[in-house]
């Protein structure tokens, strides 16, 4: 299985943020956390007209590679904010 990190030495926060920005059009993302637990805030016009569940699914799809497997760097998303500008 290939690593979800695009750059050697990238922090988990940076890699998760990059994955969200790449997957959700026009998104800006803030990712904070450590020890496998993270708080994520994403702002995107792509969320306009979507339900809370639909917005969360977009984010979780983007970060799924970081949550897969027994040694996944992301164990839990403790807080997830999905906002429109």
Q: Global pTM? A: 0.87
- Could you read off the pLDDT of 15-59 as tens digits, one per residue? 999 999 999 999 999 999 989 999 999 999 999 999 999 999 999
Whether 16 maps to a domain, the answer reads yes
Task: Read off the CATH number of the domain in which 28 is found.
Answer: 3.30.300.90
Whether 5 maps to a domain, the answer reads no
Taken in order 57, 68, 2, 4, is the CA torsion positive or negative?
positive
Q: Alpha-carbon distance 27 to 80, whole Å?
A: 14
Q: Alpha-carbon distance 46 to 68, whole Å?
A: 25
Whether 3 maps to a domain, the answer reads no
The answer for residues whose C-beta is within 8 angstroms of residue 44's C-beta and 6 or more apart is 24, 25, 26, 27, 28, 82, 83, 84, 85
Query: Which residue range is the domain that position 25 belongs to?
Result: 12-83
- Number of independent structural domains in the chain: 1
């Amino acid at each position: 299985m290939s690593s979800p990190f695009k750059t050697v030495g990238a922090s988990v926060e940076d890699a998760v943020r990059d994955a969200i920005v790449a997957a959700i059009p026009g998104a800006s993302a803030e990712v904070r956390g450590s020890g496998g637990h993270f708080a994520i805030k994403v702002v995107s016009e792509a969320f306009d007209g979507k339900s809370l569940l639909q917005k969360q699914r977009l984010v979780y799809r983007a970060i799924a590679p970081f949550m897969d497997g027994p040694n996944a760097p992301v164990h839990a998303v403790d807080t997830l904010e999905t906002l429109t500008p």
